[in-house]
Chains A and B, each alone.
Chain A
Amino acid sequence: MSDLRLFSKALLGIYLLFAVIALSTSALCIHTVDQELSREYQSNSEQIAKVIADASVDVLLNRDLSVLQSLVDQYLSIRSIKYIYIADENGEVIVHTFVPQVPAEIVATDRRTTASTHRSLTGIGSVIEVVSPILQGRAGTVHLGMDAGLIGLKIQSAVGREIYLISVLFIGSILLTLLLIGTAARPLHRLLSYQRQLAGEDDGFGLTPAEVTRLLERRDLAGDLARLAQRSPSPPQTNRADPL
């Protein structure tokens, strides 16, 4: 424990550095994943909406709505797509995939708009709705709701993996630090024992002559201090012999 106290400031610094690294990389990761995934999802969803819109023209003008329904149903197997609906040129929903009904939030909006919107729908959750016009909007619009929660889940997953990695590194670093501190503190312990021997105290860890020799031969701070202690006059002692 005394060793840790010796290096407490250094340790605190290391912990703070780790915290800064973990927080900054997580924030950067969240931002990057969020941006990239959102862009990717939106781009894919817009493409799908456009494909449906292009395919819908002929069906809408020449065939039964059930064919259109069958067409949009097939896209629901894509995990990120929560719903699809097609509104006619008057904004009336003529095909949709909602069960048990078209949400009130959608009923209340202007369905002829072609701008993408972020919605929070009861029973469905957070979605980003992209819109693609059919025949430049003259035949209607295709609306596709992609699961914004899924993006959040991906972010959580990516950040979780990063935090796991950082935690493993952090724990490993602590263990390594303790090892290094122990290694660095060992000559100091010997120096302390040596000085106590010089002072005629017995701390129970008395050094052997060979250990004292190795200590005095060290070319570091511990060696310098040991040699200095050897040259320093000993305090007056009675009834105790110099071990050397």
Chain B
Amino acid sequence: MFVPALVEETCCAVIFTTVGPLTGRPVTAVFVIDDSGGTLPNARNCRYGAMLWGLLVSAMPLAANATALAADPATPDREPIRIGMSAAFQGPSRQVGIELYRGIATYFSEVNRRGGIQGRPLQLIAYNDSYQPDRAVDNALRLLGSDKVLLLLGFTGTEPVTRVLPLLKKYDSDHGLMFFPFTGGAAVREAPYDGLVFNLRPSYRQETEALVGELVAHGHQRIAVFYQSDSFGRSGWGGVRKALTDRHLQLVGEATYARGTMYTGSLDRQVAILQSAKPDAIICIATYAASAAFIRDARRADLNVPITTVSFASLDSVVSLLRQIGAEDQRDYLQQLLFSSVVPDPKTSALPAVKEYRALMNQAAALPPTALLDANYQPSGYNRTSLEGFLDAKLLVAMLNRLGKNLTRASLAAAVVGMKDLDIGLQHPLSFQGRNQASDEVYFDAVNSNEVAGTSAVNEAKK
């Protein structure tokens, strides 16, 4: 039971989930508040709708059990635990934001259905940043400021996250923490922000190290890199370069593309540049849209060497786009592709966490509200991005449960460092002892023309 706070009129989705006082069944509602200065005609109505709904839900137990509620000294504790998220829900990288949100929200709904954390429901406040760093900073400011979230969760993209980091420092005295950003960038893993950001996934350096190791082990020595012209691309480029240097090899070629490149755009120039370097393998440090466009244009130019991607280019999204264009072109674009991932195969893994993910996604997979959701977006089935969001949420809930009733930014900041043996149903229990990254598992997925062949190899990357 809670009364939702009246948040600023901005593009915001608020999930309210609670246990119905009469039926004992979960009740969930999502309200949307617009950020475009009134382009959504019902924004104000939604805002007041959210208030009304909150009041309604609050009033129901009062009517049913007024005495018990009045006597309950813990009532103030039942305020929602606000969690803030900023991600790309629109634009070329929208699939990442939407699927990550789905995974997080699905698990939060389940937790709320079971009674929340110490009786307090989880409330996910999400804003769209369209993968734009400045908008991510604005969103973080709003979340940590007026929205008064307990923590930031699931921020997406190296560049937006890197720009938000100084803000965490600014809020250091107020213990503004970021959990599980969707990036393998080094900036969130090293000083001076290592005490302010906590990661689940391994770094791009670990992913590229594993990829280079795999390629070299299969006899590839002329490796080129295709990367996004920003800090995400540079992080991956640096990882590939280091992994090659460690093996006494050098990059034979490199080409960049601009952030925001759409799948429909041509990457012929980049393909030509890399083709002239005569590589025998290419590593993409790119979004799923740019990765798919590059693979498409490379194959059309008869550049048929193995192409690999890192986890940010969601395998499922790349394969979906290539399968679609393959059907149109009567061509198989899914040959010689290798993807690195940071989560197990969502469709086949027998790990308890993945089984639970599949069960809950089948039961009641959440969707972002319509204001955040692109009208043309078709939700994917099981996929690595929503699984990662699900695991993020699961780990966060495990951590919050350990804190007991004293859920404040300060107590969280004090307790999170050193947390260990957090078993969320993966291969091993997770820990934050002496580091700010819980997992080092890098998975490889090979793809054939019919389907994703599944996670065929699991490497624990170098720590």
Contact = CB atoms under 8 A, between A and B. Distances in A.
Interface of A: 62-70, 73, 95, 97-101
A66 B257 contact: no
B196 to A, nearest CB: 15
A64 B158 contact: no
B257 A70 contact: no
A101 B272 CA distance: 11
Nearest to B203: A64
Residue among A62, A73, A98 with the most chain B CB within 10 A? A73
A100 B234 contact: no
B256 A65 contact: no
B8 interface: no
Given A63-B186, A63-B190, A70 B254 contact: no
Give the 6 A-B CB pairs with smallest separation, nearest first.
A64-B186, A69-B234, A66-B235, A66-B231, A70-B231, A69-B231
B210 to A, nearest CB: 18
B191 A65 contact: no
Given A63-B190, A66-B158, 14 more contacts: A63-B186, A63-B191, A64-B186, A69-B235, A70-B159, A70-B187, A70-B230, A70-B231, A73-B231, A95-B234, A97-B229, A99-B257, A100-B255, A100-B270
Interface of B: 158-159, 162-163, 185-187, 190-191, 229-235, 237-238, 254-258, 269-270, 273
B269 A63 contact: no
A141 B185 CA distance: 24
Contacts of A70: 159, 162-163, 187, 230-231
B231 A99 contact: no
9 contacts: A64-B235, A65-B238, A67-B186, A68-B234, A73-B230, A73-B231, A99-B256, A101-B254, A101-B273
Contact of B257 (A63, A65, A68, A100): A100
B239 to A, nearest CB: 9
Nearest to B234: A69
Contacts of B230: 69-70, 73
Contacts, number: 62
Nearest to A63: B190
Contacts of A99: 229, 256-258
B190 A66 contact: no
Nearest to B258: A99
At the interface, is chain B mostly helix, strand, loop or mixed? helix
Contacts of B191: 62-63
A54 to B, nearest CB: 17
Residue among B159, B185, B256 with the most chain A CB within 10 A? B256
B269 A65 contact: no
B254 A66 contact: no
Contacts of B234: 65-66, 68-69, 95
Given A70-B162, A73-B159, A100-B255, A63 B229 contact: no
Residue among A67, A70, A98 with the most chain B CB within 10 A? A70
A75 to B, nearest CB: 13
A73 B235 CA distance: 14
B256 A66 contact: no
A65 B235 contact: yes
A67 B255 contact: no
B269 A100 contact: yes
B187 A63 contact: yes
A46 to B, nearest CB: 24
A67 B229 contact: no
B185 A66 contact: yes
Contacts of A62: 191
A69 B236 CA distance: 12
Contacts of A66: 158, 162, 185-187, 231-232, 234-235, 238
A168 B256 CA distance: 50
